[in-house]
Structure 1
Amino acid sequence: MLNKTWNGVNQSIVHSMSSSYLQSVEGLVKNIKVNRSNGLDSDNLDLKFCTSSNCNVTVFDVGMNMNKTTGIMKTICIKNLMDKLKNNYRGTQMKPTSSVVSVTLTANNDSTVGIELNFPKENQSYEKPFCVFWNTTLQDWSDKGCTLKTRDGNHTVCQCDHLTAFSVLMAKGAISNDFLDIITSVGLGVSVCSLLIFLIVEFLVWSAVVKSNLSLFRHTALVNIAVFLLLANSCFLASSSPKDMSETWCLVSTVCKHLFFLAMFSWMLCMSVMLVHQLIFVFSPLRKRVFMFISSIVGYICPILIVGCSYVYCKYTEKPYYSPETCWLVYHALLDGSIHAFILPVGTVILTNVFSMVVVILTLVKSSVPDGKTDDKETIKSIIKVVVFLTPVFGVTWIFGFAMLILDDGLFQDICSYSFTILNSFQVI
């Protein structure tokens, strides 16, 4: 039963079934009468008994140590169940370990208990472990009474002051931060208002500002960037509480955010390439028909193809396209997960746009040195203006988001998290 994937069943039903299975196993183990048996060992279950005062047992490579005065300690380790339980912890989808360990104590009168569990580290790309237990009342993981004692590259040691089903959840880095959530919500709200004002102004002055092809190209790209960013931010705000959304709406929200953000970056690419072309080929300007045709393919068709292909691929391979706990794409490991259908195209656009920015700055520096005379102050001012304007327009601030995936948990990752949140939430202003 545990070796099967449980596909074709609604995710909420899978979570309920796996929780009921865990409770049933715990109840069965608790009622087992121990005579001379040393336990049970099968492919997915490893059961051990301990009657001594100093219990030190190992079940499926998970070490367990507990001191007691009387009673029988029963320890069972269950494999292939963790991925079926609800592994959302503090609003963040976590990477579960392969085992959950349940410990029960019978015929014991100790007023307090203390247990230490040593879990082998399995997910090397996930850096931050959390010691948790399964709360049968809430049907969710909790860390109450459990603390992380030590961790290294191979093991995670947890200490708990009660007995139940324990495990370790792994996160790529820091999990949900209330302060960052507030900054994000406020920033996105302000950005949505600013984008609406910008689009209204563009509509009112459109005929006056697009008198040349260059102006038409620039404002067409800016309007498309603003429209798709407005739609993406609105979807992000609408899905800020995934637990209150149905799976259907969560999927729709994920697809929309994936599509709108990709379309926004695609138009950023169109704008940067157009700008570089105008600087390099001064006497061979782009024709209106050519620009609109290529931009329509890059800005509209390509994002639709990427989103559609990634969704079909996930369906065909029976891999999750989105996480119901976050209403966003899934990250498992490097090059594993639907998030790479977003990261790879966006990363390509950002690298191209950084190159375009460098070309613009070099051209500006070169043109500011006529006849060997240099005005350093004016040159520096011009470069600063270019960087300040092009950095958000070209999406360069998203580099901090890529840094968050690469860096280990620590000061630098916190700096990148705050920088990414603040700069991208308020970038429209």
Structure 2
Amino acid sequence: MRGNASWTCGGDGEWIGLPDMSACKSIDASAWIDELDKSNATAGAILQEFTDNSTTTLAAGDVSEVLNLLDVAAKRHVRDIQNASDSEQSTELSLNYTKGITSTANYMLQEPKVWHGIPNSDRRESVSTLQAIVREAGIESAQQLKNDSQLFTFDALSVKIEQHPSSYYDAVSEEGRTLRHPKFEDATLKLPKGFQGEQEIASVTFMAFNNLHCVLNEKLPCVPDGKEVLGRTFQQQTNSPIMGAAVSNTSWQASPPDKPVVVTFPYIYGANVYNLTNLTCVFWDEEENDWSTEGCDLVTKDQKVVVCECDHLTNLAVIMDLNGVLSEEVLVITGWITVIGCSISIVCLTICVIVFELVKHIGNLSSSKYTIDIHLNLCWCLLIVEITMLAGLDSQDPTGCQCTAVLLHYFFLATFCWCAVEGCNMYLLLVSVFHTFTVSRRHYYLIGYGLPLILVCITAASTSGYGYRTQPFCWLESSNGAVWAFGVPLILILLMNSVILGLGLKAIIARPMKDYRTDSESSRPRDFTSRKSIVLLTLKLVTILGLTWVLGFSYLIAQTEALAIVFTTFNSLQGVFLLVFLVLTNDKIRKEMRRIILRLPPTDPYSSGNQRPTGTGSTGLDSGTFAVQIPQGVRINPRRSNELDYAACKSQLELEDLGRRRTGSRF
């Protein structure tokens, strides 16, 4: 190789793009150009001799030289055809020429990375030129055939040409009109019935490139290895073999337009390993030297192939974003973290469920009769999530994996909905002073379980089942936006709970300390401590559950291994956090569990010198005051405000036949 290379250095000291090696050459094509001008040999023969004798790998600067050679060969071939003695010789010349063109194109594409030394704009123009030369050679040869077909197959590309009467194409089945890529068995191009129009004889030229996508993807390796794209994102990369066709001497337009060409593309970088998003069906626009979406639509996709429909031919492909990939080592690490973390969380959440089942009927353990019930449902939902994650970790069955994804979607949503219920309950305890409305357990259950069910059903129906992916993880699909069926509710719940926490803190701070009730044995504000504990508990729950998925969405954006490990750790250990926050740090629950384990008798919360309080306040119906002795079975307003539950007092007094009413007291 000889010549000079240049590489531009940016102001930040970093190299810009790739080195420009377009002045570097390893072969001398001028001698072959001279032979095309002066030799008596045909253009096809000279091109085949050129490739047979070219053992040196092309350099970046040789690409333009060889394209110039092909241009001269095309002009020489015109003279060869003009000098042909008959149609048979003309056909033979055309076939030899097409073979020479295809062989030379194969030589140019043997090392795709060589093309990366050409500036991007020049490289794309060269790609357009090469495709046009191959196509024109194939079209000419196809028109020379008589009810026959020919196949030119090389390592880097294949060209199939055929010509038949229109009646032939009318009689064959769909399979007979299907053109298959010789290297990628799932890659097919199906011509619609009647594509030949009113022509009596129709010729078809089919071009299938094996590695032309490597030339266009300058930053990706030609053969996926899972390492060079590690932790990175590459936008709008060609992720399919490139193939196209021409009918007779045109690129063909659908007529009628409701009969498009159906093209099936397999992935080069598989969806079972890589996170593929923004899939787009395209064709190569040789005027713009770029991909264009005009006339092409994506019909369907799965974990192996993409199906497109186009109203024209030329060279077609699929472009998409390839997001960062985890190495095998990190996949093993995250897999073990999931197994160990989920196992520990399942044990911790089982303990939480047992504890809350034992103490949920003890009224004096919480500030609200619903608090324990809310915690119990929160733990149940997360327990099912952890079991599902552990059971579906190595699911290979697509149907089973989709079911796992649906269950995870539903119970993760249910977990956050119960977290929202926790916030609402806290709001009622701290901010709402008077009973302006009644909240029942049924309302909470509708929010906790009904709302997630609606969202899951909408997701499944709107995506026709494609909203749940099966590879590489059993979860919501990101390429069609289904992942936002979890992300949007999560964001809304976190925002709502943040607002509620702010209101709760404001309510505590705004209330004078003298207004809080104190213990009889100390001046410590018992109400203040209790309310502060409620806020802190809700804050902890929102933080740990919210932080986990903030890390999750950060990983989807940044695609780094460190975030993957941190997210997996937090996600699998959520059960441990709930055990710590809801049980181990709750003094009342610890004491009650100690009493249950030691089989001690129940204690009266007012037996340690605490007097059962009497209520004093305005009825709201007159200006007088009253004092009533609270019956044994009546609970103080669960918000621990100064007003009593008058209706409950009245009911209890009537049941005990204590129909005594104080002057000025009304119920």
* TM-score scaled by length of structure 2: 0.40
- In structure 2, what is the Cα distance between the partners aligned to 1:152 and 1:293? 46
Query: 1:24 aligns to what?
Result: none
Query: 2:425 aligns to what?
Result: 274
- In structure 2, what is the Cα distance between the partners aligned to 1:369 and 1:412? 46
| Structure 2 residue matching 1:175: 3-state secondary structure | coil
Query: 1:313 aligns to what?
Result: 462
**CA distances 1:31-70 after superposition (whole Å, capped 9, x unpaired):** x998654349xxxxxx93226998856799989xxxxxxx
Q: Is contact 1:101–1:166 with CA below 8 Å preserved after alignment? A: no
| Structure 1 residue matching 2:106: 3-state secondary structure | strand
- In structure 2, what is the Cα distance between the partners aligned to 1:302 and 1:61? 56
Equivalent positions of 1:162-201 (< 5 A) are: 171-173=322-324, 175=326, 177=330, 178-201=332-355
Deviation at 1:365, TM superposition (A): 3.6
- The answer to whether residue 408 in structure 2 is matched with residue 327 in structure 1 is no
Instruction: In structure 2, list runs of 5 or more residues that go unmatched.
Output: 1-94, 116-122, 129-152, 159-179, 188-207, 239-266, 275-320, 516-523, 580-667
Q: Is contact 1:184–1:422 with CA below 8 Å preserved after alignment? A: yes
Deviation at 1:187, TM superposition (A): 1.8
- The answer to whether residue 539 in structure 2 is matched with residue 390 in structure 1 is yes
Query: 2:101 aligns to what?
Result: 38
**Greater C-alpha Rg:** 2
Query: 1:351 aligns to what?
Result: 495
Query: 1:48 aligns to what?
Result: 105
Q: Match of 1:311, as an amino acid?
A: A
Deviation at 1:201, TM superposition (A): 1.6
User: Greater relative contact order (Cα 8 A, min sep 6): structure 1 or 2?
Assistant: 1
| Cα 1:156–1:337 shift into 2, 3 Å | closer
Q: Is contact 1:330–1:339 with CA below 8 Å preserved after alignment? A: yes
Given candidates 396, 400, 410, the residue that maps to 1:259 is 410
Q: Is contact 1:404–1:417 with CA below 8 Å preserved after alignment? A: no
Query: 2:380 aligns to what?
Result: 227
* TM-score scaled by length of structure 1: 0.58
Q: Match of 1:50, as an amino acid?
A: Y
| Cα 1:52–1:179 shift into 2, 3 Å | closer
| Cα 1:345–1:156 shift into 2, 3 Å | closer
Deviation at 1:363, TM superposition (A): 3.2
Equivalent positions of 1:120-159 (< 5 A) are: 131=221, 133=223, 142-143=225-226, 147=228
Deviation at 1:346, TM superposition (A): 1.7
Equivalent positions of 1:291-310 (< 5 A) are: 291-310=440-459
| Structure 1 residue matching 2:578: 3-state secondary structure | coil
- In structure 2, what is the Cα distance between the partners aligned to 1:327 and 1:49? 41
Deviation at 1:230, TM superposition (A): 0.7
Query: 2:156 aligns to what?
Result: 75
**CA distances 1:222-267 after superposition (whole Å, capped 9, x unpaired):** 1111111111111111011123xx2232222222111111112111
Query: 1:125 aligns to what?
Result: none
Q: How many residues align?
A: 317
- In structure 2, what is the Cα distance between the partners aligned to 1:284 and 1:190? 42
Query: 1:102 aligns to what?
Result: 210
Query: 1:136 aligns to what?
Result: none
| Cα 1:386–1:61 shift into 2, 3 Å | farther
- In structure 2, what is the Cα distance between the partners aligned to 1:396 and 1:147? 32
- In structure 1, what is the Cα distance between the partners aligned to 2:494 and 2:449? 18
Q: Is contact 1:262–1:303 with CA below 8 Å preserved after alignment? A: yes
- The answer to whether residue 263 in structure 2 is matched with residue 206 in structure 1 is no
- The answer to whether residue 483 in structure 2 is matched with residue 339 in structure 1 is yes
- In structure 1, what is the Cα distance between the partners aligned to 2:233 and 2:466? 30
Q: Is contact 2:374–2:418 with CA below 8 Å preserved after alignment? A: yes
| Cα 1:130–1:207 shift into 2, 3 Å | farther
Query: 1:400 aligns to what?
Result: 550
- The answer to whether residue 573 in structure 2 is matched with residue 427 in structure 1 is no
Q: Match of 1:207, as an amino acid?
A: H
Q: Which structure has the highest strand share of the two?
A: 1
| Structure 1 residue matching 2:478: 3-state secondary structure | coil
- The answer to whether residue 564 in structure 2 is matched with residue 417 in structure 1 is no
| Cα 1:152–1:323 shift into 2, 3 Å | closer
- The answer to whether residue 399 in structure 2 is matched with residue 248 in structure 1 is yes
| Structure 1 residue matching 2:369: 3-state secondary structure | helix
Query: 2:506 aligns to what?
Result: 362
- In structure 2, what is the Cα distance between the partners aligned to 1:54 and 1:207? 75
Deviation at 1:392, TM superposition (A): 2.4
Q: Is contact 2:348–2:575 with CA below 8 Å preserved after alignment? A: no
| Structure 1 residue matching 2:577: 3-state secondary structure | coil
Q: Is contact 1:267–1:298 with CA below 8 Å preserved after alignment? A: yes
Query: 1:119 aligns to what?
Result: 217
Q: Is contact 2:342–2:390 with CA below 8 Å preserved after alignment? A: yes
Q: Is contact 1:192–1:230 with CA below 8 Å preserved after alignment? A: yes
